[in-house]
Amino acid sequence: MDPINILIAINIVTTFAANISGAKKGVKDKVAVFREKPKTYLQTLPLAISTINLLILILAVFQIGTLAYEEKYFTVRVIALVVYLIFSWIQIWSFRTLGDYYSQEIAIRKEHKIISSGPYKFVRHPQYLSQIFVDLAGAVATLSFVLFPLALIQIPYLILRAKEEEKLFAKYFPDEFNSYREKSGFMSPFIG
């Protein structure tokens, strides 16, 4: 097997293991008490696309749905691998920083508060930014011609999902959220 693909496979396993608590939390959220949880396709569509992207990345590790690995692509693949690894762990850091406030739902809990530490100190949606880079870089690192277009399709849905979350924050925490928004970027530090 290709060494870049081996590293991606190892990373998939380790990041999955690192986020087991997040997955358990998502199951608990099905019975959690929320102040508000909007009914929108943004609750499920971006998550479904992310799941499909992960499955396609796993197939790409086995060179299913990929271009031929030629020497001329090696440097680009290595750079993409580094980006993939960095952002997959920023995503885990983001989930862990949220702690009890991590949810796969767009929702405000009864005891909710705004998290502005860790990666959230600079970017309000590091988890979505990371998802974008993980999928795009994973596609380039494996040369997946199937994953790359799906990763691009996912971007506007993640942005819309982030904006939906911000509407809730502005509604329930107007002063605190406005102050936080002035000090942080939307999905890029200092922008938005």
pLDDT higher at 164 or 23: 164
**What pLDDT, on a 0 to 100 scale, did the predictor assign at position 2?**
95
Domains of the chain: 46-183 (1.20.120.1630)
- Overall average pLDDT of the 6-22 stretch: 85
Note the pLDDT tens digit of each residue in 31-74.
Answer: 567 888 899 999 999 999 999 999 999 999 999 999 999 999 99
| Cross-strand pairs, 75 | none
Give the per-residue pLDDT at 65.
97
Q: Which residue has the higher pLDDT, 20 or 46?
A: 46
0.75 exceeded by pTM: yes
The one-letter code for the residue type at 153 is I
**Both ends of the chain: CA-CA distance in Å?**
42
DSSP bridge partners of 60: none
Q: Please, which residues have CB within 8 angstroms of residue 85's CB and are 6 or more apart in sequence?
A: 7, 11
Banded pLDDT at 187 (limits 50, 70, 90): confident
Q: Is 122 exposed, middle or buried (0-12, 13-18, 19+ CB in 10 A)?
A: middle
d(CA 154, CA 79): 22
pLDDT band at 27 (very low <50, low <70, confident <90, very high): very low
For 123, residues 6+ apart whose C-beta sits below 8 A from its C-beta are: 129, 184, 185, 186, 187, 188, 189
- Per-residue pLDDT of 126-182, as tens digits, reads 999 999 999 999 999 999 999 999 999 999 999 999 999 999 999 999 999 999 999
Dist CA 128 CA 187 (whole Å): 8
